[in-house]
Structure 1
Amino acid sequence: MLFAVEVAIALFVRDRFVRPYLGDVLAVVLVYCGLRAVLPLRVLPAAVLAFAIGALIEFGQAVNLLDLIGLRGNPVIAVVLGGSFEWLDFVAYAAGALLALAAERFIHR
């Protein structure tokens, strides 16, 4: 369901908050869920790794990784990896990791 929401945001939302920031928050939660589903990671390491993956993608945007590897024209890769660096995205990634931690805590109570 989270993946479907992410796809809908990527395809249909063109604004200055939901797509750039809420989408990034949810992307980190999605990565966290994927990590926990396929790897034997505990909650905190999975949240930290999900944040780190978001940060690495953001740094890739800062150095124009898509241009360096010749994939700027690929629309799927461009949506997944993003195209422009923004410092505030790190706040969104942190919020996503914290949201995943809070959800885990809520679920296990």
Structure 2
Amino acid sequence: MKLQFSLKYVLLTIFIFLIEVLIATKLKDIFFVRAYLGDVIVVILLYTFVKSFFRVNNQKLILGILIFSCMVEFAQYFNIAEKLGFQEGSLMYIVIGNSFSWIDILCYAVGCLLIYLFVKVTENETLPANP
């Protein structure tokens, strides 16, 4: 891992963050979007955020994000936000979450798979053609 600033990924991170805010505030009544799409997108947000500041192996980063996301989800099973003293409705309480779901883990895996496929396609496009 090497420190390297990327304006492209910073702008993507801001854009994806704004989409997440839109989902949480304006599209919260559309069940599929709030319940599933937000969880798929959040791992993409984490990926672009890390890539904004670090040059890192893509596969390792994707795997690390999946593991991190699963750990946060399992922490929800143990009500970690309450145990850390965060008040219901506070930003950290919302970020950490408060209810465990296997479906959320599936959504994180789908998001990581989408990142992986996107990275593979873009890597193949940038490789020089064999003569």
Q: Give the TM-score normalised by the residue count of structure 1.
A: 0.90
Secondary structure of 1:101 counterpart = helix
Q: Is the 8 A contact 1:71 1:78 kept in 2?
A: yes
Residue 17 (structure 2) aligns with? 3
Residue 119 (structure 2) aligns with? 104
Q: Can you give the 5+ residue segments of structure 1 that lack an aligned partner in the other structure?
A: none
Q: Is the 8 A contact 1:10 1:79 kept in 2?
A: no
Instruction: Report the alpha carbon displacement of residue 74 of structure 1 after superposing the two structures with TM.
Output: 4.5
Which is greater in Rg? 2
Residue 38 (structure 1) aligns with? 53
Q: Percent identical across equivalent pairs?
A: 29
- Indicate whether 1:24 and 2:39 are aligned: yes
**Number of corresponding residues:** 109
- C-alpha separation between the residues in 2 aligned to 1:11 and 1:35? 25
Flag the 1:52–1:40 CA change in 2: closer, same or farther, 3 A.
Answer: same
Greater relative contact order (CA < 8 Å, ≥ 6 in sequence):
1
1:84 aligned partner, one-letter code: S
Residue deviations 1:35-64 (CA, integer Å, cap 9, x gap): 222233111001011111211110111000
Instruction: Report the alpha carbon displacement of residue 94 of structure 1 after superposing the two structures with TM.
Output: 0.5
- C-alpha separation between the residues in 1 aligned to 2:111 and 2:17? 14
Runs of at least 4 residues of structure 1 off by over 4 A?
A: none
Alignment of 1:22-101 (within 5 A): 22-101=37-116
Secondary structure of 2:72 counterpart = helix
Secondary structure of 1:14 counterpart = coil
Flag the 1:77–1:14 CA change in 2: closer, same or farther, 3 A.
Answer: farther
1:51 aligned partner, one-letter code: L
Instruction: Report the alpha carbon displacement of residue 100 of structure 1 after superposing the two structures with TM.
Output: 0.8
